[in-house]
Amino acid sequence: MNILVRYIFPNVSLPRNTRYYFGMSILAVLVMSIARAEAACWGTNYKTGNKQTVREVYRTGVAHPKRYIAEATYSNKNGQPLIIYYKRYTKFPALYRSFIRLHECCHHAAGHSGFSDEVGANCCALRRMRLTRARAARIRNIMISHNINSNTVIDYPGQGAEFWSRTAARCPKAARRQ
């Protein structure tokens, strides 16, 4: 920490404890700003074509008619990109909810190309999460145990495993972190 403080403020003379706490404060601010930048979710306004922050709407008291957990969509009023979370969203642990959020953010980030398909959005979300092998396995296990498959309206046994296998085949490094 002393090196960091001396590098930033080479001509300032501070007591050792003060330099340590000051350096830790600088480091904390840097880490928080990196975390905020990664947490930002951006999309393109379909009316103006401008890049803007995605608005997140929680309709967790409402069940989506097609059983969606969440969806990437747009405001009809002003064209702002939206993510709407539905009732099923609340049933999952925090790690999987983070995956869902990033999955939907990836849809918006891609626009009409790139990660606009479900497996591509899964790969994008897994890469952004930078998961350890154990945490990637937790995502996999949740997807399989709940038979989650974004391409179907009705759950059936084995569809979660099939969906995960397509994800792992397309982005093996992100799905099987070390």
The model's pLDDT over 56-111, given as tens digits with 9 standing for 90+, comes to 999 999 999 888 999 999 999 999 999 999 999 999 999 999 999 999 999 999 87
27 lies in the same domain as 76: no
12 lies in the same domain as 46: no
91 lies in the same domain as 157: yes
Give the pLDDT confidence score for residue 146 in this predicted structure.
92
Return the number of other C-beta atoms located less than 10 Å from residue 8's C-beta: 11
Please state, in angstroms and rounded to a whole number, the distance separating the CA atoms of residues 124 and 167: 10
**Total count of domains within the chain:** 2
Q: 35 falls in which pLDDT band (50, 70, 90)?
A: very low
Mean pLDDT across the chain:
83
Model pLDDT for residues 102-111, shown as the tens digit of each residue = 999 999 998 7
72 lies in the same domain as 9: no
Q: 158 falls in which pLDDT band (50, 70, 90)?
A: confident
Please state, in angstroms and rounded to a whole number, the distance separating the CA atoms of residues 74 and 82: 5
20 lies in the same domain as 67: no
